[in-house]
Amino acid sequence: MPLETITLPGIKRGQTFSYTATCPGAQLEEFTSQVNTASGTKMSDVEIEATGDPNTFRFVVRDTRGWQPGLLRTDIKRTVNGETAYSLTMLIPVEGSETP
């Protein structure tokens, strides 16, 4: 059975990548996330920030200049009381940039 995935809006390499996720009752420190290639090579850690809504969190990578064009992958890991759960895998279409 294939893993479930969703595709996020694409970016050009070098742009800030961000999205928000809502998780009622969650705490900021419960989350971790990173962006990887399809083969598992780590491209970036994802910063996780609070928003004005206590149930909504912003996931952001400000420097994507080193990202490879193509489809990258990310998910959200949440650990509460020693138990870990993961979100669906999210695909990030990355287009190369022409201007450095």
Predicted TM-score (pTM) of the model is 0.90
CA 79 to chain centre: 16
What domains lie within the chain, and their CATH numbers? 5-95 (2.60.40.10)
Strands lying side by side in the sheet with 47-50: 17-22, 56-61, 47-50
Would you state the pLDDT for residue 98?
A: 86
Would you state the pLDDT for residue 99?
A: 82
Confidence band for 15, pLDDT divided at 50, 70 and 90 = very high
Give the span between the Cα atoms of 98 and 81, in whole angstroms: 46
Give the span between the Cα atoms of 79 and 44, in whole angstroms: 20
Amino acid letter at 1?
M
Q: Nearest 5°: phi and psi at 69?
A: -60, 150
pLDDT digits (tens, 9 = 90+) for 31-68: 999 999 999 999 999 999 999 999 999 999 999 999 99
